[in-house]
Amino acid sequence: MFAYTIRRLLAAFVLLILMSMVTFLLFNASAQDPARLACGKNCTVEQIASVRHKLGYDKPITTQYALLIKGLVAGRDFPDDAATKKNAPQTITHCGAPCFGYSNFQTSLVSTLIKERLPVSIWVAFFAFVLWMVFGIVSGVIAALFRGRWPDKILVGLALVGYSFPTFFIGLVLYTYIALQWQLVPTPEYISPLSDPVGFLRGAILPAVTLAMIYIAGYVRLTRAYVLEAMGEDYLRTARAKGLNERTIVIKHTLRAALTPITTIAGLDLGALLAGTPITETVFNFNGVGKLTVQSATNGDLPTLTAIVLISATFIIVANIVVDVLYAYIDPRVRYA
């Protein structure tokens, strides 16, 4: 198991390196001059040249990539040339590891930006995750236990309704009615849960609910299907034949089998959300990575975009590994295979 984990981590590392190369190449292969993009519309030729030099875009592409990696591991300086360092050390900006580069648009180091924004996205994603897991799974189990009767029909119907509205619509409706019109919750804003947990819950409830809504629908149906499948298994007949009570049969025998595959899907879904949710964050004006993505994409902010791509990829890959290892832990048949 341990060796397996290590092997997966190594593979993930290689995958990330490849990802970074591809991202880097794609962005550099685009027709636009990165220095010009970074400098903005009204730059003079000299300004562009200086930006180009400062950010290292004048170097050969392989060197640029090497610098990017060096920055990630050890940090780097802008501009990174010996002459400037010696003559005018005060003009050098140091960017500590992990350095994703410098964003001229935000006039800030990308890493600083990410450090600010990432917690917002992560906390909201976790909040949503808890909501959808609890409500999705509970409703799914209830629907399965009452298959064909009214609780089942209502829950599955509701899930379908939730499923069919687009995120921004749900978000806007919640914002307008719950927060503004009826003022049931304070105006959504991000408060760090580390400093004020209750404030965080109150401030982030609407975006979390919005995100959760889309997933709940899927999870109700998924849970219902898996529970029904498990209920048809021979080993449940055995459990009944032992004389177990219904509660043990449902909780210990049915759910254990039904929820195992859901763990996998949930882990991957969460991994994909951690690196930001552009629509929700924009609707509720949360300064998370999602909103940053939208801004960077409209501005052509290459360093920031590269960083976001790499970070999302990392989250997804790590989520995959965690899920696999977790799965092997939950399902003994995988553990020994």
Partner 1 sequence: MSEEITVAEVAADRPHALGEDFLQVENLKVHFPTEDGLVKSVDGLSFELQRGRTLGIVGESGSGKSVTSQAIMGLHRGSRAQVSGQILLDGEDLLQVSDERLRKLRGNDIAMVFQDPLSSLHPYYTIGNQIVEAYKVHHDVKSSVARKRTIEMLDRVGIPNPQRRIDQYPHEFSGGMRQRAMIAMALVNDPKLLIADEPTTALDVTVQAQILDLILDLQREFGSAIIIITHDLGVVAEMADDILVMYAGKSVERGPVNDVFYTPQMPYTWGLLSSMPRIDRVREERLNPIRGNPPSLINPPSGCAFNPRCDFRHEVDDPQRCVDEVPLFDPEQLHPVRCHIDHARRKEIFESTIKPRL
Partner 2 sequence: MTEPTVPAAARDAGETGGQSSGDVLLRVEDLRKHFPLKTQGLIRRPSAPVKAVDGISFDLDAGETLGLVGESGCGKSTAGRTVLQLLEPTSGKITFRGEDVTGAKGERLRGLRSDMQMVFQDPYGSLNPRHTIGTIIGAPFIIQKAKTEKGVKAEVQSLMERVGLNPEHYNRYPHEFSGGQRQRIGIARAVALRPKLIVCDEPVSALDVSIQAQVVNLLEDLQSEFNLAYIFVAHDLSVVRHISDRVAVMYLGKIMELADRDVLYSKPMHPYTHSLMSAVPVPDPKKENKRNRILLTGDLPSPINPPSGCVFHTRCPKYRTALSDADKARCTGEVPQLEPKATGHLAACHFPEVRADVAAAEDAVAPTQ
Asked if 307 and 100 count as a contact pair (C-beta separation under 8 A), the reply is yes
Binding-site partner at residue 235 among partner 1, partner 2, none, CB < 5 to 8 Å by type: partner 1
Report the distance separating Cα 170 and Cα 199, nearest Å: 22
User: Among partner 1, partner 2, none, what binds residue 329 when CB lies within 5 to 8 Å by partner kind?
Assistant: none
Residue 45: which of partner 2, partner 1, none does it interact with, CB under 5 to 8 A by kind? none
6, burial (CB in 10 Å: exposed 0-12, middle 13-18, buried 19+): exposed
Cα distance from N-terminal residue to C-terminal residue, the chain: 10
Shortest CA distance to 314 belongs to which of 12, 53, 1? 12
Q: Does 6 bind partner 2 (CB under 8 A)?
A: yes
Tokens found for residue 129: 């995750």
Binding mask 178-217 for partner 1 (x = CB under 8 A): ----------------------------------------
Does position 256 interact with partner 1 (CB under 8 A)? The reply is yes
Minimum CB separation from partner 1 for residue 243, in Å? 4
- Interaction residues for partner 1, span 301-330 (CB under 8 A): 330
Size of the site for partner 2 (CB under 8 A): 5
Q: Check residue 90 and report its DSSP letter.
A: G
3 binds partner 2 (CB under 8 A): yes
How many other C-beta atoms are found inside a 10 Å radius of the C-beta of residue 177? 12
Q: Which stretch binds partner 2 (CB under 8 A): 6-14, 92-100, 169-177, 211-219?
A: 6-14
- Where are the strands (E) in the chain, listed by range? 76-78, 93-95, 102-103, 108-109
Residues facing residue 76 across a β-bridge: 95
* Least separation in angstroms between CB 143 and partner 1: 17
In angstroms, rounded to a whole number, what is the distance separating the alpha carbons of residues 132 and 134? Answer: 6
d(Cα 276, Cα 301) in Å, to the nearest integer? 17
Q: Is 149 in the site for partner 1 (CB under 8 A)?
A: no
CA nearest to 127, candidates 198, 21, 23: 198
By CB under 8 A, tell whether 335 contacts partner 2.
no
- Of the candidate spans 2-10, 61-69, 85-93, 245-253, the one that interacts with partner 2 by CB under 8 A turns out to be 2-10
The minimum distance between CB 330 and partner 1, in angstroms, equals 7
Other CB atoms within a 10 A radius of the CB of residue 259 amount to 19
Stretch that binds partner 2, among 1-9, 42-50, 120-128, 297-305 (CB under 8 A): 1-9
161 is written with which tokens? 């309704």
By CB under 8 A, name the one of 7, 115, 149, 242 that touches partner 2. 7
Cβ atoms within 10 A of the Cβ of 8, count?
A: 16
Does residue 83 interact with partner 2 by CB under 8 A?
Answer: no
Contact positions with partner 1 (CB under 8 A) in 226-245? 233-235, 237-245
Q: What's the closest the beta carbon of residue 237 comes to partner 1, in angstroms?
A: 6
The reply on whether position 331 binds partner 1 by CB under 8 A is: yes
Please list, in sequence order, all residues whose beta carbon lies within 8 angstroms of the beta carbon of residue 113, skipping any fewer than 6 positions away. Answer: 103, 106, 292, 304
> How crowded is residue 26: how many other Cβ atoms within 10 Å of its Cβ?
11
Give which of partner 1, partner 2, none residue 7 binds (C-beta under 5 to 8 Å, depending on kind): partner 2
* Contact residues: partner 1, CB under 8 A: 233-235, 237-245, 248, 253, 256-257, 260, 330-333, 336
* Contact residues: partner 2, CB under 8 A: 3-4, 6-7, 10
